[in-house]
A = this chain, B = another copy of it.
């Protein structure tokens, strides 16, 4: 049906009507007093969301642009960095570091498995001369639905004492607790079309005082992504370059909604959606791609057997107007991914699971009792 699309991909995520309407307001001048007031409010609320007193800066860029800013502002050519890589985004940060001539080491895991924090600890412990300048971690690996153990990895980085921890929180921020100040994280980067519940086009970078110290001597070239410029102007509730005014209207509305719901409730909702989705998939006899103890709160990847992942996606789209994501790179055709990030409620999961059941029946898949998925998801919701 026209205009009936339901997005269950890891981004863009669903956008509330009041956010769409805020975005459709006519733009105002970005150097005006009215816009300055919006910037002040939005900046305060971004700090609330990031659980920090440090700077949270906004860029007109995708999450990758934000992550690039989070890396290149704090390093110099030839610096040694350690990157965890267990999926497409981990690989992207390795590529990015190499493109900038960083001396890049990795700790890897199979796609679908979590990084072993112990391997990170060993690498850091071996660096007795403190040459490692940064550890770069993908928190929720969007390509596989795996959540890496950021708290444990960060503990090892803190034990090292020198290296910065730079984290891709693109699909974890606003879905699971990431207390920036309490954990003493240094840099976290994210994008608007995820937990923020607004369309793509805005990137966010939170920066610790320790990272700003490093910025002073970091020599990788940058201009548009120079966070020092953004920090300087943020002090006046302004931006160095024209900001995406209408996306910031949208952000203002979305952050108000998030504050009304409250962080604890937002995290509990994502935990509940994840648990219900996983319970349903198990009840349908379909293999989950990520283990239970490393389940992303944003996305659940399924590796169906006896039924084709791409056929499932095609029928869901055609018959039920639900878009789920496919697998990326070598996982193309092997998995499908169910997004449950941002503006997603319990009803959405029930609708998705019910539609998935109907789809499996249409495709002649035999491995489940019709109704079992919905029953399992409902059980989670009833107990929650």
A residues touching B (Cβ–Cβ < 8 Å)? Answer: 5, 7, 9, 11-12, 14-15, 20-21, 23-32, 60-65, 68, 95-96, 99-101, 191, 193, 199-202, 220-226, 241-247, 323, 325-326
Measured CA separation A223–B7 after assembly (Å):
29
Contacts A64-B223, A224-B225, A244-B247 given; 13 further ones with Cβ under 8 A?
A7-B26, A7-B27, A12-B27, A12-B30, A20-B26, A23-B23, A27-B199, A32-B323, A60-B61, A60-B201, A61-B65, A68-B224, A200-B246
- Which B residue sits closest to A220, measured CB to CB? B221
Of B11, B24, B201, which is within 8 A of A20 by CB? Answer: B24
CB <8 Å contact, A11 and B221: no
Given contacts A60-B200, A60-B201, A61-B60, A100 and B27 within 8 Å (CB-CB): no
CB <8 Å contact, A199 and B7: no
- Which B residue sits closest to A249, measured CB to CB? B199
Of B28, B61, B65, B242, which is within 8 A of A7 by CB? Answer: B28
Measured CA separation A300–B101 after assembly (Å):
45
Measured CA separation A226–B95 after assembly (Å):
12
- Which B residue sits closest to A14, measured CB to CB? B26
Specify the main secondary structure of chain A where it touches its partner.
loop
Sort A-B residue pairs by CB-CB distance and give the 3 closest, nearest first. A201-B244, A24-B24, A12-B27
Measured CA separation A30–B9 after assembly (Å):
10
Q: What is the distance, in angstroms, from A273's C-beta to the closest C-beta of chain B?
A: 19
Of B21, B26, B191, B223, which is within 8 A of A242 by CB? Answer: B191
Q: Which residues of B contact A191 (CB under 8 A)?
A: 242
- Which B residue sits closest to A239, measured CB to CB? B62
Of A7, A11, A221, the most chain B CB neighbours within 10 A belong to A221
Given contacts A20-B24, A27-B12, A223-B100, A65 and B241 within 8 Å (CB-CB): yes
CB <8 Å contact, A246 and B99: no
Measured CA separation A256–B278 after assembly (Å):
45
CB <8 Å contact, B241 and A64: yes
CB <8 Å contact, B99 and A30: no
- Which B residue sits closest to A221, measured CB to CB? B100
Of A5, A23, A242, the most chain B CB neighbours within 10 A belong to A242
Q: What is the distance, in angstroms, from A73's C-beta to the closest C-beta of chain B?
A: 12
CB <8 Å contact, B323 and A223: no
Measured CA separation A51–B25 after assembly (Å):
31
Q: What is the distance, in angstroms, from A281's C-beta to the closest C-beta of chain B?
A: 21
CB <8 Å contact, B245 and A199: yes
Q: What is the distance, in angstroms, from A130's C-beta to the closest C-beta of chain B?
A: 25
Q: Which residues of B contact A29 (CB under 8 A)?
A: 7, 9, 12, 323, 325
Q: What is the distance, in angstroms, from A295's C-beta to the closest C-beta of chain B?
A: 23
Q: What is the distance, in angstroms, from A134's C-beta to the closest C-beta of chain B?
A: 16
- Which B residue sits closest to A247, measured CB to CB? B201
Measured CA separation A245–B14 after assembly (Å):
13
CB <8 Å contact, A27 and B200: yes
CB <8 Å contact, B95 and A223: yes
